[in-house]
């Protein structure tokens, strides 16, 4: 079984990235051949500074490795180190219905948030489909909000297969029912572009400040509070044991404790949770060649697979 997932280097990774993509991906290392790419091609839709993009890509590699990705069991590489994916994206675009792309939730959401309606943003699902199909991926772990992209990938693969014969296998989404959408400081989905994130490896003072800025209602300290829908409780549930979570929910309902105290409790659990990963990160940084070696080895393996698939695709469509 071949597993594929990718993450954008659009900025420092936050806990939404970790629980939504990184932790499930790391857990899948033991289930099959895992390929994880740093999606720098995709990041071009939002990152315009070349030095920032290069630095972000390297930082994603560092942080992923620090969080538990094992390069002996998984392949980690940069998107742009496999340029064949852009060739496949063009071939897929020749059969992609406009209506299919116009229905993409992510495109409409980004436009609603003020992003410019570029061709790259519109074609984003086509490039994502190429990312998946070029490695003959069997399984793609995604959150519920990303399921549509896998459905669109399957639609495009079927279009190619119907037009040119059996070229692609159809990938399956792997949606972990335990993985929830991680809320940001304002209660919406955590996202760097929304500015509501808490970074995994941020400065302690800044991380504490951001946790303490979580938006709450004006319920007085002495009054009971509703744990249902509370951003504090939702985030705490990611780090706490069942008993600890039950205790916080009980304290919410009982009253007499202010939101500030609950936020302090949340920060302590969050900071403790990532402590071993911060230590591993420092160890990696001391080996100047480690990241480059991992990415080089990963690119070699990714290209081996992509070359095989693209030979099959080119022959099928008449380019060879």
CATH number of the CATH domain containing 296: 3.40.50.620
Tokens at residue 189, please? Answer: 């989905």
Answer yes or no: do 65 and 145 share one domain.
yes
User: Is the residue at 186 inside a domain?
Assistant: no
- Going through 89-209 in order, the beta strands assigned E by DSSP cover 139-141, 172-174
**Distance of alpha carbon 2 from alpha carbon 32, whole angstroms:** 6
One domain for residues 266 and 300 = no
Residue 59 lies in a domain: yes
Based on the fold, state whether residues 26 and 167 are members of the same structural domain.
yes
From first to last of its 320 residues, the chain has per-residue pLDDT tens of 999 999 999 888 999 999 988 998 898 988 999 999 999 999 998 899 999 999 999 999 999 999 999 999 999 999 999 999 999 999 999 999 999 998 888 888 888 878 888 888 899 999 999 999 999 999 998 877 678 889 999 999 999 999 999 999 999 988 766 556 799 999 998 988 789 999 999 999 999 999 999 999 999 999 999 999 899 999 999 999 999 999 999 999 999 999 999 999 999 999 999 999 999 999 999 998 999 999 999 999 999 999 999 999 999 999 97
Among 77, 71, 60, smallest CA distance to 14 is for 60
The answer as to whether 281 is a domain residue is: no
Which CATH number covers residue 247? Answer: 1.10.240.10
Residue 66's pLDDT is what?
Answer: 97
Q: What is the pLDDT of residue 111?
A: 83
What are the DSSP E strand ranges found in 210-257?
Answer: none
Residue 248 is assigned to a structural domain of this protein: yes
Residue 253 domain boundaries: 202-273
Identify whether residues 145 and 250 lie together within a single domain. Answer: no
Q: Do 115 and 239 sit in the same domain of this protein?
A: no
C-alpha dihedral, 49 to 54 to 57 to 63, nearest 10°: -110
Q: Is residue 48 located within the same domain as residue 78? A: yes
- Residues 126, 121: Cα–Cα separation, whole Å: 10
- Domains in the chain: how many in total? 2
- Domain assignment present for 69: yes
* Same-domain pairing of 226 and 171: no
- HSE, CB side, 13 Å, CA atoms: give it for residue 199: 19
- 149/26 same-domain check: yes
Give 14's DSSP letter. B
Residues 261 and 294 in one domain: no
In contact, 184 and 194? CB cutoff 8 Å: yes
Does pTM top 0.85 for this prediction?
yes
Residues 171 and 220 reside in one and the same domain: no
Question: Which residue among the candidates 144, 147, 159, 189 is catalytic per the annotation?
Answer: 189
Is 254 annotated as catalytic? no
What is residue 287's three-state secondary structure? coil
In this structure, the answer to whether residues 117 and 254 fall within a common structural domain is no
Q: Is 245 exposed, middle or buried (0-12, 13-18, 19+ CB in 10 A)?
A: middle
- Hey, what's the torsion of the CAs at 264, 21, 27, 60, to 10 degrees? -90
Residue 282 within a domain: no
Statement to judge: residues 149 and 175 lie in one domain: yes
Report how far apart, in Å, the C-alpha atoms of 45 and of each of 129, 150, 222, 227 are.
Answer: 16, 20, 48, 38
Burial class (CB in 10 A: 0-12, 13-18, 19+), 319: exposed
Task: State the DSSP string of 26-39.
Answer: HHGGGTSEEEEEE-
What local confidence, expressed as pLDDT, does residue 179 receive?
58
Instruction: Decide if 205 is catalytic.
Output: no
300 classed as catalytic: no
Joined together, the tokens standing for residue 175 give 């949606």
In a domain, 193, yes or no: no
Q: What confidence score (pLDDT) does residue 279 get?
A: 97
In a domain, residue 190? The reply is no
């Amino acid at each position: 079984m071949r597993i594929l997932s990718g993450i954008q280097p659009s900025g420092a990774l936050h806990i939404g990235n970790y629980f939504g993509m990184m932790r499930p991906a790391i857990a899948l290392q033991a289930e099959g051949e895992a390929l994880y790419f740093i999606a720098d091609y995709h990041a071009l839709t939002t990152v315009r500074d070349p030095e920032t993009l290069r630095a972000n890509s390297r930082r994603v590699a560092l942080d992923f490795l620090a969080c538990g990705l094992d390069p002996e069991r998984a392949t980690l590489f940069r998107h742009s180190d496999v340029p064949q994916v852009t060739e496949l994206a063009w071939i897929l675009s020749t059969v992609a219905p406009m209506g299919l792309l116009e229905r993409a939730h992510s495109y409409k959401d980004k436009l609603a948030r003020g992003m410019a309606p570029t061709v790259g943003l519109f074609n984003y699902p086509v490039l994502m489909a190429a990312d998946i199909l070029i490695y003959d991926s069997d399984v793609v772990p995604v959150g519920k909000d990303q399921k549509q992209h896998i459905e669109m990938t399957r639609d495009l693969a079927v279009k190619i297969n119907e037009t040119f014969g059996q070229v692609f296998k159809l990938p399956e989404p792997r949606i972990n029912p335990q993985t929830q959408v991680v809320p940001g400081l304002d209660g919406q989905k955590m996202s760097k572009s929304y500015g509501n994130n808490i970074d995994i490896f941020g400065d302690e003072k800044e991380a504490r400040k951001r946790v303490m800025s979580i938006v709450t209602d004006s319920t007085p300290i002495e009054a009971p509070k509703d744990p249902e829908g509370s951003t504090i409780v939702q985030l705490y549930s990611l780090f706490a044991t069942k008993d600890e979570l039950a205790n916080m929910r009980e304290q919410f309902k009982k009253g007499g404790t202010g939101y500030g105290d609950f936020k302090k409790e949340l920060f302590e659990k969050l900071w403790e949770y990532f402590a071993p990963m911060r230590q591993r990160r420092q160890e990696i940084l001391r080996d100047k060649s480690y990241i480059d070696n991992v990415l080089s080895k990963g690119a070699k393996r990714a290209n081996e697979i992509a070359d095989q698939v693209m030979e099959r695709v080119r022959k099928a469509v008449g380019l060879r």
